[in-house]
Amino acid sequence: MKKHDQDFMKRQNRLTVFQIIKNEQPISRAAIAKQTGMSPTTVSRIVSELTEEGYVHETEEQASAGRGRKSSLIRLLDTAVISIGVELDRHQANIGFIDVQGNVLCSGNFPRSSGDTPEATVARIADIIEELILECDIDRRRIVGIGVGLPGIIDVEAGIVNFSVQLGWKNVQLAERLKELTGLQAVVDNELKVKALAEQLKGSAYGSNRTVLLGFGNGVGSALILEGEIYRGVTNSAGEIGHTTVDPEGMMCDCGKAGCLQTYINIPSLLSEASKIKPVRTIEELFAERRAGTRWACYLIDRALAYMAITINNVVSMYNPDSVILSGEILDKFPEVYEEITNLCYTQYIWEPLQDSFTIVRSKLHEHGVIIGSGLVAQDRYFQLN
Amino acid sequence: MKKHDQDFMKRQNRLTVFQIIKNEQPISRAAIAKQTGMSPTTVSRIVSELTEEGYVHETEEQASAGRGRKSSLIRLLDTAVISIGVELDRHQANIGFIDVQGNVLCSGNFPRSSGDTPEATVARIADIIEELILECDIDRRRIVGIGVGLPGIIDVEAGIVNFSVQLGWKNVQLAERLKELTGLQAVVDNELKVKALAEQLKGSAYGSNRTVLLGFGNGVGSALILEGEIYRGVTNSAGEIGHTTVDPEGMMCDCGKAGCLQTYINIPSLLSEASKIKPVRTIEELFAERRAGTRWACYLIDRALAYMAITINNVVSMYNPDSVILSGEILDKFPEVYEEITNLCYTQYIWEPLQDSFTIVRSKLHEHGVIIGSGLVAQDRYFQLN
């Protein structure tokens, strides 16, 4: 094996052992060796390293398999590692401190407007981080990095936002700027991709091998998690379903094409269509009109829900996942639509041969999904580099 | 490492070495070791085994890197292994003998009708195999197995055709029946999946890491090859785009839903629409009408080509591949549509941020793609098992 590959393997093994301890603690060295196929010597070496560095500790506990024999088990120190997860959206930024278990220790947010520059946003993030550290008494030495999730096409390796229609940004070296201002390693990723990872690691798709997360909110998107890894595609754009064409004779989309999926279901499109009849400023107002039985509001939302069911059919036909997670502002604010969409799926829109091949679940982490996911990605990056 | 995993690794290493020799011959043991990261001892052991078994041989040749020093290089015996590739379609079966390089040594076919039972089809395949062996003087001892590619949902592990609308089959234990009748190991797979693999191994997507093959013919489908492996999904149904909904108000599809993609572009749908105006029995007749400028034929085919471009956009948005291969009866018979579809893509239908992320290529293996791909899958299976 080449030197380069050896180093990579070492880091990868370290991360694997760490993640097994994280997910299955308390656990014995022998059980780790059995699960990973690593030699007992390798496992012991890694556990010793992690102990010295203060990430894990050893306890004298009853091993479940042994008959009364005491065996030493490994446990994680939950706050041994803390990362910062940041969600950047069109109108708001959410910031949270995430422990090794993906718990949110402390969080804050600030409003954004679509004209906000990257500089202003990064400066504001740095300020809020400082405020939260003081407010929640976070141990600074434990913070290993920042992860940012945002809507758009991201070059993860370079830490660059290639472009984000929703933030109005293009070619922004976000990771570098964040590092300059905070002194912390930063990683940037697509919001739905990290959210999907969070749901698969500790949310509604825990244990799934092929899960797809759908996000219905200001944008429309999807993310596929394949055996614990984000499926990225060649330019990290896999899952950008917002601009798949669902009706070539349909409405114009801001991308310059007609009949893109997002024109039927994202919040700005719904509000813009509704406002042709009456000024409707928020998605809450539109749902209130529907609840009041207003004809055009019922039509618009019914059509949106039908297209959401169609989206599920199309995504399932292409990715053939074992589960589909519904998430996003519309699902978070109006949980009743979950059942409506599911009914539409099974009564009308899912191709019959695939009806039993997957389950439809709701996001468990809701509005915390992106900060948890991006925080966990920052921790993974840290363990891979160190 | 567990015993089970060790065996798996051994078989996998053997297959890896074999494939490197296949693709890069003549090659030295040292070069194989360097490329795979295996130890020189492991590589030598595997090469010795393969030599003893008559798959490879050693030649005294000038190694390109050495300065005049002779070094012994390994070459494949092309006909050391022969497999049989079978393509089953609605109206026809194609059968070919495939060597290790994916060359078609000899081929034949027979017509099918949609009512043909699996028994009749399997018996006919066995007959043709015998005829071809005699006709082309194939060395029987070299035949290692049969691979079958057909349209439908296939349980590859069990060798069962779960169902195939085009063949009219349901729950057919095809691999077992073929083995009973021919005495050969048989493997069954989806036709587009093996065709995509063939194109990636020795066709138009050679060397691609993420390629999608689209098939436009009697059915509509796609297949994704990820780093040399078929992406199957949880029930081997990934890529079944024929029943993605592209217009919820569209035509009825035989699956019971409205507006499925295939109703706009597959040959039976095009002929059925055309025949509302005038009896049109073949796709050739329909294209002749278009060439003659007949209005409805122009409309139907223009619409089909637009939906093919839309399909490319939708597939690229979801899989984010580096290349898209266009294949199938329509492309094979009317190569002029390739340019029309490509133009539609770049002038109208591809989401702008993805326009430079992939190339569109034509299938190189054409109507031989499925027999080559299924033959190669049968060889892989053989090397994994032996």
Residue-wise pLDDT for A94-124, tens only, equals: 999 999 888 999 999 999 887 789 999 999 9
Q: Kindly tell me if the per-residue pLDDT of A4 is higher than 60.
A: no
Of A37, A233, A310, the CB nearest to B319: A233
Is B201 a domain residue?
Answer: no
Q: Are residues B137 and B274 in the same domain?
A: no
Can you give the C-alpha Rg of chain A in angstroms? 23
Q: Are residues B342 and B295 in the same domain?
A: yes
For the segment B161-190, the average pLDDT, to the nearest whole number, is 94
Lowest-pLDDT range of A276-290, B313-327, B372-386:
B372-386
Chain B residues with beta carbon closer than 8 angstroms to that of A239: 317-318, 320
Residue B276 confidence (pLDDT): 97
For the segment B280-308, the average pLDDT, to the nearest whole number, is 97
Q: Kindly tell me if the per-residue pLDDT of B320 is higher than 70.
A: yes
Task: Convert the pLDDT of each residue in A142-172 to its tens digit.
Answer: 899 999 999 999 999 999 999 898 899 999 9
Residue B67 confidence (pLDDT): 56
Distance from CA of A263 to the nearest CA of B (A): 14
Q: Kindly tell me if the per-residue pLDDT of A263 is higher than 90.
A: yes
Contact B240 A153 (CB under 8 A): no
Q: What is the ipTM of this complex?
A: 0.85
Domain boundary among B37, B59, B76: B76
Chain A residues with beta carbon closer than 8 angstroms to that of B353: 153, 162-163, 237
Q: Are residues B236 and B323 in the same domain?
A: yes
> What span, in angstroms and rounded, lies between the C-alpha atoms of B80 and A357?
41
Domain boundary among A45, A76, A107: A76
Contact A306 B244 (CB under 8 A): no
Chain B residues with beta carbon closer than 8 angstroms to that of A246: 245-247
Residue B47 confidence (pLDDT): 93
Q: Considering only residues A77 and B189, tell me which one the structure prediction assigns the higher pLDDT.
A: B189
Residue B386 confidence (pLDDT): 66
For the segment A20-29, the average pLDDT, to the nearest whole number, is 86
Task: Convert the pLDDT of each residue in A323-368 to its tens digit.
Answer: 999 999 999 999 999 999 999 999 999 999 999 999 999 999 988 9
Distance from CA of B107 to the nearest CA of A (A): 33
Q: Where are the alpha helices (DSSP H) in A3-39?
A: 3-24, 29-36
Contact B246 A241 (CB under 8 A): no
Q: Kindly tell me if the per-residue pLDDT of B61 is higher than 80.
A: no
Contact, B266 vs B330, CB < 8 A? no
Of A256, A306, A322, the CB nearest to B234: A322
pLDDT category at A19 given cuts 50, 70, 90 is confident
> What span, in angstroms and rounded, lies between the C-alpha atoms of A300 and A77?
50
Residue B2 confidence (pLDDT): 47
Q: Are residues B228 and B140 in the same domain?
A: no
Domain extent, residue B64, equals 3-76
Lowest-pLDDT range of A214-218, B67-71, B254-258, B265-269:
B67-71
Domain boundary among B37, B61, B76: B76
Is B345 a domain residue?
Answer: yes
Q: Are residues A283 and A305 in the same domain?
A: yes
Q: Are residues B27 and B160 in the same domain?
A: no
Q: Are residues A209 and A293 in the same domain?
A: yes
Contact A234 B358 (CB under 8 A): yes
Contact A319 B257 (CB under 8 A): no
Q: Considering only residues A85 and A68, tell me which one the structure prediction assigns the higher pLDDT.
A: A85
Q: Are residues B236 and B342 in the same domain?
A: yes
Query: What is the distance between the terminal CA atoms of chain A, rounded to a whole angstrom?
Result: 21
Distance from CA of A149 to the nearest CA of B (A): 19
Please name which of A296, A357, A281, A370 lies closest in space to residue A84, comparing C-alpha atoms.
A370
Is B323 a domain residue?
Answer: yes
Residue A64 confidence (pLDDT): 55
Q: Chain A interface, mutation test: which of B317, B324, B358, most A Cβ atoms within 10 Å?
A: B317
Task: Convert the pLDDT of each residue in B64-88 to its tens digit.
Answer: 555 555 668 998 887 788 999 999 9
Contact B306 A248 (CB under 8 A): yes
Chain A residues with beta carbon closer than 8 angstroms to that of B348: 257
Lowest-pLDDT range of A65-79, A198-212, B14-28, B100-114:
A65-79
Contact B351 A243 (CB under 8 A): yes
Side chain identity, residue A328: G
Contact A318 B319 (CB under 8 A): yes
Residue B63 confidence (pLDDT): 56
Distance from CA of B60 to the nearest CA of A (A): 27
Residue B14 confidence (pLDDT): 85
Q: Chain B interface, mutation test: which of A244, A299, A357, most B Cβ atoms within 10 Å?
A: A244
Of A237, A313, A352, the CB nearest to B244: A313
Residue B166 confidence (pLDDT): 86
For the segment B55-66, the average pLDDT, to the nearest whole number, is 71
Q: Considering only residues B64 and A371, tell me which one the structure prediction assigns the higher pLDDT.
A: A371
Q: Kindly tell me if the per-residue pLDDT of B173 is higher than 60.
A: yes
Side chain identity, residue A298: C
Is B200 a domain residue?
Answer: no
Share of chain B above pLDDT 90, in %: 70
A33 Cβ contact list (under 8 Å, min separation 6) = A39, A40, A42, A43
Average pLDDT, chain A: 91
Please report, for the domain that includes residue A38, its CATH number.
Answer: 1.10.10.10
Total CB pairs under 8 A between chain A and B: 141
Is B228 a domain residue?
Answer: yes
Lowest-pLDDT range of B35-49, B52-66, B323-337:
B52-66
A161 Cβ contact list (under 8 Å, min separation 6) = A118, A150, A152, A153, A154, A155, A167, A169, A170, A171, A172, A174, A188
Residue A149 confidence (pLDDT): 97
Q: How many domains does chain A have?
A: 3
Match 């997360």 to its residue by tokens. Answer: A213
Q: Considering only residues A327 and B383, tell me which one the structure prediction assigns the higher pLDDT.
A: A327
Task: Convert the pLDDT of each residue in A123-141 to its tens digit.
Answer: 999 999 999 999 999 989 8
Chain B residues with beta carbon closer than 8 angstroms to that of A357: 234-235, 237
Q: Kindly tell me if the per-residue pLDDT of A62 is higher than 70.
A: no
Lowest-pLDDT range of A227-231, A280-284, B7-11:
B7-11
Q: Are residues B150 and B250 in the same domain?
A: no
Residue A214 confidence (pLDDT): 98
Chain A residues with beta carbon closer than 8 angstroms to that of B210: 233-234
Contact, A25 vs A32, CB < 8 A? no
Q: Are residues B141 and B181 in the same domain?
A: yes
> What span, in angstroms and rounded, lies between the C-alpha atoms of A112 and A255?
23
Contact A238 B318 (CB under 8 A): yes
Q: Are residues A355 and A374 in the same domain?
A: no
Chain B residues with beta carbon closer than 8 angstroms to that of A233: 210, 319-321
Distance from CA of B75 to the nearest CA of A (A): 24
> What span, in angstroms and rounded, lies between the C-alpha atoms of B96 and B26?
27
Beta bridge partners of A92: A111
Is B270 a domain residue?
Answer: yes
Distance from CA of B349 to the nearest CA of A (A): 7
For the segment A226-239, the average pLDDT, to the nearest whole number, is 93
Q: Directed axis angle between helix A295-319 and helix A283-291, to 10°?
A: 110
Task: Convert the pLDDT of each residue in B119-129 to its tens digit.
Answer: 999 999 999 99
Q: Are residues B179 and B128 in the same domain?
A: yes
Chain A residues with beta carbon closer than 8 angstroms to that of B354: 235, 237, 240
Please report, for the domain that includes residue A179, its CATH number.
Answer: 3.30.420.40
Q: Kindly tell me if the per-residue pLDDT of A298 is higher than 50.
A: yes
Residue B352 confidence (pLDDT): 93
CA-nearest residue to A246 within chain B is: B246
Contact A353 B319 (CB under 8 A): no
For the segment B350-374, the average pLDDT, to the nearest whole number, is 94
Contact B354 A235 (CB under 8 A): yes
